[in-house]
Amino acid sequence: MNDSEPNSNAGLVAALRDALGDDGVLVGDAVTARAGDGSGTVPCAAQAVLRPRTTEQLSAALAACHGASQPVVPQGGLTGLVGGGVAGDLEVAITLERMTDIEEIDPVGRTMTVQAGAALQSIQEAAEAEGLLFPLDLGARGSCTIGGNVATNAGGNRTIRYGMTRDSVLGLEAVLADGTVLSSLNKMVKNNAGYDLKHLFVGSEGTLGIVTRVVLRLERRPRSHNCALLAVPGFTEVTSLLRKLEEELGGSMSAFEVMWREFYELVTGPQARTAPPIPHGDPYYVLVEAFGARQEEDAAQFEEALGDCMEDGLIGDAVLGKSKAERDEIWALRDDVEQLNHLAPIFTFDVSLRIADMEAYVGGIKAALSERWPGSDCVVFGHLGDGNLHVVVGVGDGSPEARSAVEDIVYGRLEPIDGSVSAEHGIGFEKRAHLGRSRTPEEIALMKTLKRTLDPRGILNPGRVFEAEGAPPTGSHADASVRLPA
């Protein structure tokens, strides 16, 4: 859409400038100066970048794109891991970076109304300033946006207690492909007046509409924090530990993160930023955290629960995070996913399965990988309490053929146990060939019916989640560089 040359898009560019103003439509160098993906090393390939200031502006811009059958790619903070927001050279990117206001906080009803371009961290801080908590938390908090979190139904570290993003959304406003503004800014916890339309957009990865405003449900801010790192002698003990702590902590558990031996050794190895708080040599390490209301009583209950688990032989060594600094240190080693780069080239996976199936599943993929590639690396960690594992595989040259063979091993073994190829990262481009491994043909057919109904010309993020149907070509896409799961 180079508007210095007369072409068929000149009318569209004029309409977009009318809708958004000159500084709302970037072309040429102003586009290539922007990052194309989260690595920051690839320039934006889009024909143009649109920067609406208001829902009305976005509505007018989308109506113009719909009229011209122009494909668009909504972008949040570009922190996604499956290439969903990476725009191709025939597409127009849309960013809500000028719609970042926190519009209202209701401390009694515990809701916050925000514009979708607001960064997750600014939302967390605004909630905290009111003595409340917005519980969604992930490593990219400083740059990811709430619109992106909603569009991808982001998970993160505290899903076990507060659910995924979907569970924190009470209402939203979205603009449909043809510019229709759907205002569904519900603030009530209970509202069964017909279909709950917000769920169409949560997790739709920008394919059904562009979320512009969100009503978030806030939680009470916890006044006590307890956290520990535990060494666990076997997988049966990991599952017994989860169950026992859930019982003994009375619903206050806010994280149950498990690190398989290889991950723990990597993030506490000689090259890592943290020395091992517990010596190497155990098969599993667990980070457990609880939020409550009274620090002294809760700390006593937490330590008593861990003592009981130790007596039962469920844990060996344990290190308690007694201060904020000590708790941060324990989280820092869990979050030090950069260490995975030492295994590069790597393939990363984000799978979901029943906890009862995990030991056999991980054993099966490790055995298959070593048989095919002796000496290969397979590192597993994740939000075990949610049934979500991150699997990182290093098998030599990182070629597309190797990727495909590794995918067959990692995804193929999920099918018979009804697991999911995506727990929290979404499908985007990267996993769309595998959607059928986790969804039935009837489910995918209904997804496509919804897509056709809401976006009849297929302009919204085409080709993400599933192949575009009869849509204009989306152009070439820079391969999203390997990003690390968290």
Question: What is the smallest separation between the CB atom of 455 and Zn ion, expressed in angstroms?
Answer: 29
CB 366 within 8 Å of CB 358: no
Minimal CB distance to Zn ion: which residue? 486
Question: What is the smallest separation between the CB atom of 347 and Zn ion, expressed in angstroms?
Answer: 16
Write the CB contacts of 340 (distance below 8 Å, at least 6 apart in sequence): 266, 346, 348, 379, 392, 484
Question: What is the smallest separation between the CB atom of 381 and Zn ion, expressed in angstroms?
Answer: 9
Tell me, by CB under 5 A, how many residues bind Zn ion.
1
| Between 160 and 169, CB nearer to Zn ion | 160
CB 250 within 8 Å of CB 293: no
| Between 238 and 337, CB nearer to Zn ion | 337
According to CB under 5 A, which residues from 233 to 292 bind Zn ion? none
DSSP structural state of residue 91: -
According to CB under 5 A, which residues from 384 to 443 bind Zn ion? none
Task: Compose the 447-486 pattern: x for residues touching Zn ion by CB under 5 A, - for all others.
Answer: ---------------------------------------x
| Between 91 and 289, CB nearer to Zn ion | 289
User: Which pair of tokens denotes residue 292?
Assistant: 């409550």
| Between 46 and 140, CB nearer to Zn ion | 140
Helices (H), 190-337: 198-201, 235-248, 261-267, 295-311, 324-334
Question: What is the smallest separation between the CB atom of 264 and Zn ion, expressed in angstroms?
Answer: 16
| Between 140 and 211, CB nearer to Zn ion | 140
C-alpha distances out from residue 56 to 73, 151, 181, 206, Å: 18, 20, 8, 18
Residue with tokens 């667990």: 286
C-alpha distances out from residue 268 to 140, 232, 389, 399, 483, Å: 22, 17, 20, 29, 21
| Between 289 and 455, CB nearer to Zn ion | 289
Residue with tokens 């990692």: 410
Question: What is the smallest separation between the CB atom of 56 and Zn ion, expressed in angstroms?
Answer: 36
| Between 115 and 352, CB nearer to Zn ion | 352
Cα radius of gyration rounded to whole Å, the chain: 23
Question: What is the smallest separation between the CB atom of 155 and Zn ion, expressed in angstroms?
Answer: 6
According to CB under 5 A, which residues from 367 to 386 bind Zn ion? none
Question: What is the smallest separation between the CB atom of 138 and Zn ion, expressed in angstroms?
Answer: 7
| Between 290 and 486, CB nearer to Zn ion | 486
CB 395 within 8 Å of CB 369: yes
Question: What is the smallest separation between the CB atom of 185 and Zn ion, expressed in angstroms?
Answer: 29
Question: What is the smallest separation between the CB atom of 340 and Zn ion, expressed in angstroms?
Answer: 13
> Strand ranges (DSSP E) for 347-435?
347-352, 377-383, 388-394
Residue with tokens 């517990």: 278
| Between 288 and 486, CB nearer to Zn ion | 486
Question: What is the smallest separation between the CB atom of 485 and Zn ion, expressed in angstroms?
Answer: 6
Give CA–CA dist 58/467, Å, rounded: 25
| Nearest residue to 160 (alpha-carbon basis) of 335, 316, 291 | 291
| Between 81 and 253, CB nearer to Zn ion | 81
Give CA–CA dist 460/369, Å, rounded: 38
Helix axes 55-67, 10-20, angle to 10 degrees: 170
Interface residues toward Zn ion, by CB under 5 A: 486
